[in-house]
């Protein structure tokens, strides 16, 4: 054998890091395509369908709707390693876990997701532990709904959107629209003031979709600050300091802060030299084949991969299909498939209406609705599909490798 097995706890045909949507759907599809020896490294005991968290924060779903045990979603015949990856030795084809256990692989699939960048923005945890701050992106969606209901009639709500990468940029503003719908329904709009802080020149970079959303923000009276970053969190005083594009700063007091912090790939990716020159620690892959640029036996998908498109759950389904096709093609000498950058930004803009914004990596609309329909029109059917149909598709089809 090329490398000694001394110190290796076990060898797998395909080893997957991350047991979220990317990892479990990849494992299931690989199993269905005939790969029998698959393992998933995932420390969490609970698996969350994260798109439902926006509806939890808007009082339209419960956490139990969004959660299943990790064991129940792990494909039959797939080994679940309840551990955390700590280091990948790519030349030796081994993964070392925090427990000290070491595993070898023939192919490695990376789906580690993102983590808050606490070096870029300090006191994220302190802020989210405080009374008036919350984040659907850091697992406090139930608290978001509590704060929405408790909002004073003349209160001020601040919502933030970080620079990329972030999982599904469109979802960052779902809490704003669902909160505003509740406040309007309960007579607090007009009255409640809303500020949106966006750390990028446009929200999505899709001109037609950004224009629609800007119109909706204006109708709600939302004060939108583009190219503005959250520079400092001050949870003791219930305010944040933001930095504007012209170099000036401003303090924003809040009665509710929905913080979407800046994110990055886990540090072990960078320490394992898998990130290339990416400043935010994303896996350095070819965004079309999803194969690592330096290591032919490493593949990646999902939020933690340098996909050159806005990551989303809708995008991930197509990514995993391409990844599995290409992993198997590489083994057989077949032709590689290409991921076109398709993604989706489903934005619920009211209690029962949603814009299903679908586009590709060029920012062009890529709609699945018939061509004679307006692809950016808010629809009740789109909301119902997002809220009720997609979760069933996720649990019963996507995580089982059928889609």
Asked if residue 360 is part of any domain, the answer here is no
The pLDDT value recorded for residue 194 is 98
Asked if residue 353 is part of any domain, the answer here is no
Asked if residue 255 is part of any domain, the answer here is yes
* CATH number assigned to the domain comprising residue 136: 3.50.50.60
Is residue 218 exposed (0-12), middle (13-18) or buried (19+ Cβ within 10 Å)? exposed
The pLDDT value recorded for residue 1 is 39
Residue 144 has pLDDT above 70, yes or no: yes
pLDDT tens by residue, 77-97? 999 999 999 999 999 999 999
Pair 110, 299: CB distance under 8 Å: yes
Count of structural domains within the chain: 2
φ and ψ at 194, to 5 degrees? -130, 130
Q: At what angle do helices 21-32 and 313-332 cross, to 10 degrees?
A: 40
The chain-wide mean pLDDT, for the chain, equals 94
Q: Which of 115-119, 183-187, 341-345 is predicted with the least confidence, judged by mean pLDDT? A: 341-345
The pLDDT value recorded for residue 339 is 96
213 in the same domain as 122: yes
Among the three residues 194, 228, 263, which one is the final residue of a domain in this structure?
263
The pLDDT value recorded for residue 289 is 98
pLDDT tens by residue, 331-371? 999 999 999 999 988 899 888 999 988 888 877 777 665 54
- What mean pLDDT comes out for the span 383-399? 95
pLDDT category of residue 103 using cuts at 50, 70 and 90: very high
197 in the same domain as 75: no
Asked if residue 150 is part of any domain, the answer here is yes
Is residue 77 exposed (0-12), middle (13-18) or buried (19+ Cβ within 10 Å)? exposed
28 in the same domain as 44: yes
Asked if residue 373 is part of any domain, the answer here is no
324 in the same domain as 269: yes
133 in the same domain as 255: yes
258 in the same domain as 156: yes
pLDDT > 90: what percent of the chain? 87
129 in the same domain as 94: no
pLDDT tens by residue, 262-316? 999 999 999 999 998 888 999 999 999 999 999 999 999 999 999 999 888 889 9
Whole-angstrom distance between the N-terminal and C-terminal Cα of the chain? 37
134 in the same domain as 256: yes
159 in the same domain as 84: no
Residue 376 has pLDDT above 60, yes or no: yes
Structural domain harbouring 67: 10-114+265-341+394-400
Asked if residue 1 is part of any domain, the answer here is no
The pLDDT value recorded for residue 369 is 54
Asked if residue 364 is part of any domain, the answer here is no
- What mean pLDDT comes out for the span 189-203? 96
pLDDT category of residue 14 using cuts at 50, 70 and 90: very high
38 in the same domain as 59: yes
The pLDDT value recorded for residue 358 is 86
160 in the same domain as 255: yes
Torsion of CA 312, 316, 319, 325, to 10 degrees: 180
Name the token pair of 103: 């595993």
308 in the same domain as 224: no
Among the three residues 247, 263, 279, which one is the final residue of a domain in this structure?
263
The pLDDT value recorded for residue 279 is 86
Torsion of CA 278, 281, 285, 291, to 10 degrees: 160
Residue 101 has pLDDT above 90, yes or no: yes
pLDDT category of residue 2 using cuts at 50, 70 and 90: very low
Edge-first strand order for the sheet with 239-243 is 229-234, 239-243, 249-253
Among the three residues 239, 263, 287, which one is the final residue of a domain in this structure?
263
Asked if residue 28 is part of any domain, the answer here is yes
């Amino acid at each position: 054998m090329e490398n000694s097995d001394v110190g290796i706890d076990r060898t797998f045909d395909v080893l997957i890091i991350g047991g979220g949507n990317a990892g479990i759907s990849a494992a299931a599809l690989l199993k269905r395509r005939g790969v029998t020896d698959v393992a998933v490294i995932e420390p969490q005991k609970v698996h969350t369908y994260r798109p439902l968290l926006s509806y939890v924060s808007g009082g339209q779903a419960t956490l139990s709707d969004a959660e299943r045990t990790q064991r129940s979603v792990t494909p039959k015949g797939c080994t679940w390693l309840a551990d955390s990856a700590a280091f990948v030795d790519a030349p030796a084809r081994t993964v070392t876990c925090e427990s000290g256990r070491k595993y070898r692989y023939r192919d490695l699939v990376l789906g580690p997701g993102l983590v808050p960048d606490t070096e870029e923005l300090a006191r994220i945890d302190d802020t989210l532990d405080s009374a008036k701050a919350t984040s659907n992106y850091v697992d406090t969606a139930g608290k978001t709904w509590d704060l929405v209901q408790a909002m004073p009639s003349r209160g001020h709500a601040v919502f933030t959107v970080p620079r990329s990468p972030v999982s599904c940029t469109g979802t960052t503003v779902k809490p704003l629209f669902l909160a505003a719908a509740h406040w309007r329904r309960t007579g607090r709009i007009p009255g409640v003031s809303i500020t949106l802080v966006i750390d990028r020149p446009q929200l999505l970079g899709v001109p037609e979709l950004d224009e629609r959303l800007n119109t909706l923000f204006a109708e709600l009276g939302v004060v939108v600050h583009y190219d503005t970053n959250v520079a400092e969190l001050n949870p003791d005083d219930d305010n944040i300091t933001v930095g504007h594009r012209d170099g000036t700063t401003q303090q924003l007091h809040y009665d509710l802060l929905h913080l979407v912090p800046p994110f990055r790939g886990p540090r072990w990716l960078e320490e394992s030299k898998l990130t290339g020159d990416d400043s935010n620690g994303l896996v350095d892959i070819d965004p079309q084949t999803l194969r690592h640029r330096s290591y032919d036996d490493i593949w990646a998908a999902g939020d933690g991969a340098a996909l050159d498109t806005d990551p989303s759950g809708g995008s991930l389904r197509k990514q995993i299909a391409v990844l599995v096709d290409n992993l198997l093609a590489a083994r057989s000498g077949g032709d590689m498939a290409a991921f076109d950058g398709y993604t989706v930004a489903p934005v619920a803009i009211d209690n029962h209406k949603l814009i299903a914004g679908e586009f590709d990596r060029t920012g062009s609309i890529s709609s699945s609705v018939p061509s004679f329909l307006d692809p950016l029109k808010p629809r009740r059917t789109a909301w119902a599909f997002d809220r009720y149909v997609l979760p069933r598709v996720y649990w019963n089809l996507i995580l089982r490798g059928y889609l």
